[in-house]
Amino acid sequence: MGASIMTQTALHTSTTSAATTANLATAIDRYVAATFAGYQAAVVAVVPSLGEPRVTDPDLALRTVRKAIETLVGVAVGSTIGTVATALRRGFGAETRAAVAAELARIAHGDGPLSSVATLGTPPRFLPPGDNRPLVDELGARLVARLRHAIAFTRRHIAALLAGCAERPSSLATMLDSLATDDAATLGYSDQITVGWSHVRSRLANTQIPALPAHPRFARASTTWMAWSSRVRNLPEPVLSEDADLVASGYLMRIA
């Protein structure tokens, strides 16, 4: 009888543990899906309002836009992972903070979250027929496709980040569900697109970067894109035929 009770207890514990783990996996899915839906909504809302750059060198223009797209994908992935990391650091103890630091270091110096992005084919048009802004269309179409492709490996790295924490899965799931309802990521991504495109236009026209509104919300985006502008202006221009070449050539900015 005693052995039977112990067996039943073990089975119940195992079933409960499996259910809790499944609930955490579902919470990860919800958080990543909601966050990336916000990023895509920002693309749909912001990109159609952007002006087409003045272009004298079409090849340079296309390469520059694709470098900007890679950076925007990096911002999306890095911000999504970074938001979870920040919440873990603030909400839990020293053991969790140490585990978070170790996992972020592995992401940054190991197989970073964007290193496995496959080369994508030509996506469908983003702007409606008759809207003759080819670079704006390239930005919207390819960025939407890249964001969709980034969901799976962003989720994988968040799962690895949480796996190293000693906290209860139910507590982690509650944290993720709270983060999923925050629209700060969408607002921040809108700023990244707007500020980033101003730097793209400045780069292609070889003009001064336009002044941004004096608002704290633009500060982080400005820092990212000032660094981006410095890189693309000071590095030689290789001939890059594939998206994978952009990643391999170091134009990808890892934000995580």
Answer with the residue of higher pLDDT: 89 or 122.
89
Amino acid symbol at 104: L
Tell me how far apart the alpha carbons of residues 201 and 52 are, in angstroms, rounded to a whole number.
Answer: 8
CB atoms within 10 A of CB 140: 23
Span 242-246, average pLDDT: 43
Whole-number pLDDT of residue 5? 54
Q: What is the pLDDT of residue 252?
A: 42
Alpha carbon separation from 6 to 1, 14, 58, 151 (Å, rounded):
9, 12, 72, 42
Inter-axis angle of helices 2-46 and 169-180, nearest 10: 20
Contacting residues for 115 by C-beta, under 8 A, at least 6 apart: 247
Q: Is the pTM of this model over 0.85?
A: no
**Cα-only R_g, the chain:** 21
Q: For residue 61, what are its two tokens?
A: 């223009």
Share of the chain above pLDDT 70, in %: 75
User: 83 pLDDT exceeds 60?
Assistant: yes
Which tens digits make up the pLDDT trace of 178-227? Answer: 999 988 888 999 999 999 999 999 989 888 777 766 666 777 788 888 88
Q: What angle do CA 35, 157, 229 make, to 5 degrees?
A: 70
Q: What is the pLDDT of residue 40?
A: 97
pLDDT of the residue at 240: 42
Q: Residue range 119-144: average pLDDT?
A: 89
As separate numbers, helices (DSSP H) first and strands (DSSP E) second, the chain gives: 8, 0
Alpha-carbon distance of 182 to 180, in angstroms, equals 6
pLDDT at 112 over 50: no
214's tokens: 């004096």
User: 137-164 pLDDT, tens per residue?
Assistant: 999 999 999 999 899 989 999 999 998 8
